[in-house]
């Protein structure tokens, strides 16, 4: 027995050594904090020492206590809307551009580079830049609308409760649309040319070719784009922080799960400024569970699709 | 071949979006060289009165130089560690056939779908425990951990695709695993390492969350954190506000223009699934 173990390590020990540095960093700074956050969600206490065990009380408060419930469900709803706008607008635009870029014409490399360019900016910089462009008095959008005689269309884009969240989501779409574009483009370019040519010879319209041939063939790419959009946007923080502050102004109408998490567990609510880490951990854990459910559902359905093909 | 009308439509639609994509960046950069009054009277054209006042204020009165150096340190050190740890682990995970290696691989890859930010509460406590809060050293281990899943994912796939004979030949010649890693694997991995480096560089350079929660001290701020504070301060002085944003954006934009192909490959690397 002891001999076997010794032999095992003589043969495999070197591999353990190779993996060890990556594993240690990953364990200590990623896996353990994620798991320990779940444990902390069962505790309460002011500031950095949540030491008092309260069981499920943080969760019960989030779901039922009026002080928490309104903020929590508000943030959850806004996060979902924020994600849905990306899913629909960003990914449809991306598919549309990719379908155009998949053709052979002069300048497609240029267009691809330009469409992707905003994605290289920091989210914070893009967010701040758009607050200036959307500034109700001096911003380029309202100035232009006034100049072309559409002054009534000029609005305080970030100041109205039912307008601010879609506007912020659309600036984020502006920044990230290059991602689905490039991914869909790679998928479309992977379709054998003979297949499309054969369909055209048979007299298929370009609409038919797109909906009935191209789209089913890039189904795996659509799945990847969908899951990336989901994980990235359920976790969005920077753009709202830059454009609407940590409280999701106006009137919490742009508050996302991540800004709620930040205020509750890290910064502390104004004016006291003492974080409630246990409650913050509970919000993080709920976000984690939502993400896991989404990812598992995706894995399950993409596997089922594979079986069918 | 595209028909004439298809071609016109393609150019038309793409030009509109190209304009929408570029226009904000254009106004950002040209307006940062204009005095406040001209930004409002001539918001879209080239500056008539050219001024560097905004840049002077940000660089001389603000501590932008410090923020910039901090960000470079953090990014370079984190990237070096990510590439070293990641390639070492990827080589082992690709070559070692066992249940343990499959388990470890899946364990690393699971991190692709889980944002490290959800562990922030614990990370803050951890940094206090190590007395790293308020220093740039608090950021590095977190970024290295955050970079492991994607790096191991890309690099392991790459090593698996290398011709097996190469390793066997080296083995026969009596080379140690460490020697094979250093002399054979690393040179061959270069293109994959470039992809990994660009992906992580953008995440780290542009990250705002961890500087926001770990760092307050002036001397430890990164560009993203500095920009958020300077922008708040200069909110009414548009020349300075735009100069701040330009200083943060221009270095990356120049790199992107020079290496756009590699950038697009690197940034979309998270989606390369089999």
Model pLDDT for residues A117-134, shown as the tens digit of each residue:
999 999 999 999 999 889
> How far apart are alpha carbons A214 and A204 in whole angstroms?
12
Q: Which residue of B has its CA nearest to A121?
A: B249
Contact A284, B119 (CB under 8 A): yes
Mean pLDDT is lowest, of A23-32, A188-197, A209-218, A262-271, for: A262-271
- Between CA B224 and CA B245 the distance in angstroms is 10
| Number of CB atoms found within 10 A of residue B82's CB | 29
B192: domain CATH number? 1.10.3720.10
CB A264 within 8 A of CB A279: yes
pLDDT of residue B184: 87
The separation between the first and the last C-alpha atoms of chain B, rounded to the nearest angstrom, is 31
Contact status, residue A246 vs residue A22, Cβ threshold 8 Å:
no
Query: Is 90 exceeded by the pLDDT of residue A14?
Result: no
- Alpha carbons B139 and A24: distance in angstroms, whole number: 16
Q: Does residue B142 fall inside a structural domain? A: yes
A154 Rama sector, left if φ>0, alpha if ψ -120 to 50, beta otherwise: beta
The pLDDT, as a whole number, for residue B177 is 85
Among candidates A28, A114, A262 on the partner chain, residue whose Cβ is nearest the Cβ of B21:
A114
Give CA–CA dist B128/B203, Å, rounded.
24
Q: What are the distances in angstroms from CA A48 to CA A41, A274, B124, B136? A: 13, 9, 9, 21
Which residues on A lie below 8 Å from B124 (Cβ)? 48, 266
The verdict on a CB contact (< 8 Å) between A284 and B121 is yes
B273/A123 touch (CB, cutoff 8 Å), yes or no: no
Which of A22, A104, A117 is nearest residue B89 as measured by Cβ atoms?
A22
> Is residue B175 included in any domain, yes or no?
yes
pLDDT digits 0-9 by tens, A149-199: 887 888 888 888 889 999 999 999 999 999 999 999 999 988 888 888 888
* C-alpha B43: how far from chain center: 31
Compute the distance between CA of residue A210 and CA of residue B160 in angstroms, rounded to an integer.
35
Q: Which of A207, A224, A205 is nearest to A215 (CA)?
A: A207
Optimal mutation site among B43, B122, B175, B200, interface A, most CBs of chain A within 10 A: B122
Model confidence, pTM: 0.91
Phi, psi of A120, deg, nearest 5: -85, -15
**pLDDT on residue A307:** 54
Find the domain containing B76 and state its range: 68-221
Structural domain includes residue B210: yes
pLDDT on residue A71: 92
Task: Considering only residues B172 and A277, tell me which one the structure prediction assigns the higher pLDDT.
Answer: A277
How many CA within 13 A on the CB side of residue B197?
15
Average pLDDT of chain A to the nearest whole number: 89
**Quick one: pLDDT at residue B1?**
61
Q: Which residue has the tokens 């000029």?
A: A154
pLDDT attached to residue A49: 75
Q: Kindly compute the dihedral angle of the four CA atoms of residues A265, B117, A236, A81, in this order, to the nearest 10 degrees.
A: -70
Which residues of chain B make contact with A40, given a CB cutoff of 8 A? 121-122
Per-residue pLDDT of chain B (274 residues), as tens digits, is 678 888 899 999 999 999 999 999 999 999 999 998 888 888 788 888 888 888 988 888 878 889 999 999 999 999 999 999 999 999 999 988 888 899 999 999 999 888 999 999 999 989 999 999 899 999 999 999 999 999 999 999 999 888 888 778 887 888 888 888 888 899 999 989 998 998 899 899 999 999 999 998 888 999 999 989 888 888 788 888 899 999 989 988 999 999 888 888 887 776 654 3
The answer to whether the Cβ–Cβ distance between A114 and B18 falls below 8 Å is yes
**B22 touches A113 (CB < 8 A):** no
Write b or e for each residue in B98-121: b if 16 or more Cβ atoms lie within 10 A of its Cβ, otherwise e: eeebeebbeebbebbbbbbbbbbb
Q: Which residues of A touch B123 (CB under 8 A)?
A: 29, 33
Whole-angstrom distance, CA of residue A46 vs CA of residue A174: 40
Answer whether B83's CB lies under 8 Å from B158's CB: no
The alpha carbon of residue B218 and the mean position of all alpha carbons in its chain are separated, in whole angstroms, by 23
Q: Which residue is listed with tokens 């994912």?
A: B153
Dig out the tokens for B192 from the structure.
């994959």
Cβ contact A55:B141 at 8 Å? no
A288·B114 Cβ contact <8 A: yes
Q: What is the mean pLDDT of the segment spanning A213-242?
A: 91
Average pLDDT in the A270-286 region? 85
Q: Find the angle CA(B122)-CA(B125)-CA(B127) to the nearest 5 degrees.
A: 110
CB contact under 8 A, A128 and B208: no
Please answer yes or no on whether A122 and B248 come within 8 Å at the CB atom. yes
> Phi and psi for B235 in degrees, rounded to 5?
-50, -35
**A103:B10 CB<8 A:** yes
In a domain, B84, yes or no: yes
Alpha helices in chain B (DSSP H): 4-31, 36-41, 53-56, 64-95, 99-110, 120-129, 139-160, 164-172, 177-180, 186-206, 209-214, 223-233, 238-258, 260-267
pLDDT at A273 over 80: no
Q: Do B208 and A29 touch (CB under 8 A)?
A: no
How much is the CA Rg of chain A, to the nearest whole Å? 25
Give me the pLDDT at residue B69, please: 94
Asked if B228's CB is within 8 angstroms of A143's CB, the reply is no
Assigned domain for B34 exists: no
The pLDDT value recorded for residue A309 is: 41
Residue A66 confidence (pLDDT) above 60:
yes
Residue B257 belongs to some domain of the structure = no
In chain B, the number of structural domains is 1
pLDDT at A10 (0 to 100): 74
Q: Give whole-number Cα distances, A195 to A84, A191, A209, A214, B98, in Å.
A: 33, 8, 10, 10, 42
Nearest Cα of chain B lies from the Cα of A75 at a distance, in angstroms, of 16
Residues of chain A contacting B128 with CB distance shorter than 8 Å: 48
Q: Do B202 and A28 touch (CB under 8 A)?
A: no
Ordered structural domains, chain A, with CATH = 2-30 (no CATH), 53-308 (1.10.3720.10)
Nearest-by-Cβ selection for B86 from A22, A36, A128: A22
Contacts of B125 in chain A (CB under 8 A): 48, 277
Which tokens sit at A242? Answer: 């830059």
In a domain? residue B4: no
Strand-pair partners of A47: A276
Other CB atoms within 10 Å distance of the CB of residue B44: 12
Query: Nearest Cα to B106, choosing from A26, A254, A120?
Result: A26
């Amino acid at each position: 027995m002891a001999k076997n173990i010794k032999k095992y390590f003589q043969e495999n020990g070197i591999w353990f050594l190779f993996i060890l540095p990556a594993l240690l960093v990953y364990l200590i700074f990623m896996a353990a904090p994620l798991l320990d956050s779940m444990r902390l969600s069962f505790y309460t206490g002011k500031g950095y020492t949540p030491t008092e065990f309260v069981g499920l009380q943080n969760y019960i408060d989030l779901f039922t206590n009026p002080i928490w419930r309104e903020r929590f469900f508000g943030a959850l709803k806004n996060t979902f809307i924020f994600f849905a706008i990306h899913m629909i607008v960003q990914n449809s635009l991306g598919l549309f551009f990719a379908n155009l870029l998949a053709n052979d014409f002069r300048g497609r490399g240029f267009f691809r580079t330009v469409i992707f360019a905003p994605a290289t900016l920091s989210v914070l910089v893009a967010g701040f830049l758009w607050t200036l462009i959307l500034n109700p008095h001096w911003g380029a959008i309202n100035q232009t609308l006034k100049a072309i005689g559409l002054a009534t269309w000029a609005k305080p884009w970030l100041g109205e409760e039912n307008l601010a969240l879609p506007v912020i989501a659309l600036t984020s779409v502006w920044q990230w649309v290059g991602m689905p574009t490039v991914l869909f483009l790679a998928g479309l370019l992977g379709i054998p040319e003979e297949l499309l040519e054969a369909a055209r010879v048979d007299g298929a319209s370009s609409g038919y070719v797109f909906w009935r041939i191209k789209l089913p063939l890039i189904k795996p790419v659509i799945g990847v784009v969908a899951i990336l959009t989901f994980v990235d946007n359920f976790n969005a923080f920077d753009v709202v922080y830059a454009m609407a502050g940590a409280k999701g102004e106006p009137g919490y109408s742009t508050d996302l799960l991540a800004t709620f998490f930040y205020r509750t567990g890290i910064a502390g609510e104004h004016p006291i400024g003492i974080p409630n880490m246990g409650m913050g951990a509970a919000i993080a854990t709920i976000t984690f569970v939502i993400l896991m459910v989404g990812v598992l559902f995706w894995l399950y359905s993409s596997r089922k699709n594979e079986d069918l093909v | 071949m595209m028909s004439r009308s298809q071609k016109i439509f393609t150019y038309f639609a793409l030009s509109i979006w190209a304009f929408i994509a570029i226009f904000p960046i254009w106004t950002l950069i040209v307006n940062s060289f204009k005095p406040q009054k001209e930004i409002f009277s001539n918001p879209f054209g080239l500056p008539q009165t050219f001024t560097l006042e905004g840049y002077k204020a940000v660089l001389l009165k603000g501590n932008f130089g410090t923020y910039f150096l901090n960000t470079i340190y953090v990014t370079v050190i984190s990237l070096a560690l990510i590439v070293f740890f990641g390639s070492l682990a990827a080589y082992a995970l690709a070559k070692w056939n066992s249940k343990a290696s499959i388990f470890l691989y899946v364990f690393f890859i699971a991190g692709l779908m889980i944002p490290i930010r959800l562990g922030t509460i614990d990370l803050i406590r951890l940094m206090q425990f190590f007395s790293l809060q308020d220093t740039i050293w608090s950021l590095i281990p977190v970024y290295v951990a955050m970079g492991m899943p994607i790096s191991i994912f890309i690099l392991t796939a790459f090593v698996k695709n290398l011709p097996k004979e190469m390793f066997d030949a080296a083995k026969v010649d009596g080379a140690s695993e460490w020697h094979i890693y250093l002399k054979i694997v690393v040179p061959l991995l270069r293109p994959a390492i470039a992809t990994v480096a660009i992906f992580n560089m953008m995440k780290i350079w542009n990250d705002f969350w961890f500087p926001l929660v770990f760092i307050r001290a002036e001397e430890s701020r990164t560009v993203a954190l500095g920009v958020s504070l300077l922008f708040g301060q200069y909110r009414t002085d548009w020349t300075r506000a735009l100069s701040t944003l330009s200083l943060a954006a221009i270095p990356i934009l120049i790199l992107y223009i020079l290496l756009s192909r590699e950038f697009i490959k690197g940034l979309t690397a998270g989606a390369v699934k089999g």
